[in-house]
Structure 1
């Protein structure tokens, strides 16, 4: 098979895989009142602390309007808060609140179990993650 023949199948396979994993993760998030996009924002904030909306867009791949709605909901739920950047007062940083950090810890365990289950079903989890990481870095 030529590489150009594999490309549409690769794109389709990756899209289907992403949707399948998202659906499985949503199964553990939804009963706890959290959307997948909210999870991605919470996870980014837990990993790196206060991030600007631009930083969050890069890390979550959410569009600006979607990200604004997600952060607004997290702020309304007291899981996150906004703070003016001390170095550049034109920028606003988003942080997880203590409530948000506790919620993230609980959810991270559940999401981790789902991800582990998915990866082990693929046979060689380390190789899969390495290959996906290379794709994401290109």
Structure 2
């Protein structure tokens, strides 16, 4: 299951991602927000981060205006490896090398077409499992 969260700056892009997930029959849990009314992004980053770190959801997607604040907040949660991506190469590399479990994007930075490609790559790229990458991840977790 995919955990979704956004603030008002990411609401419209989250709706596009929900349509993509539904079209591809992927289960998700929407932690909000649920409108374009101004809210504080840390609340949603924490909800999604804890859902992923706690095992309720396998991966997460977070969106705020730039993706910066929401990714910083999520990364404060032990077990979360949130990666801010605005291109396809980074989305693939962060899954292959970092085993990132949360994708962060900026709703005011990335258009819907590119964002959906990034989501597709992030969700469908497995961790490489290479020893050097696993070793580096364990150093992050220490």
Higher relative contact order (CA 8 A, sep 6+): 2
Q: TM-score, normalised by structure 1?
A: 0.25
Normalised by the length of structure 2, the TM-score is 0.24
From the CA coordinates, give the structure whose radius of gyration is larger.
Answer: 1
From the two aligned structures, give the one with the greater strand fraction: 2
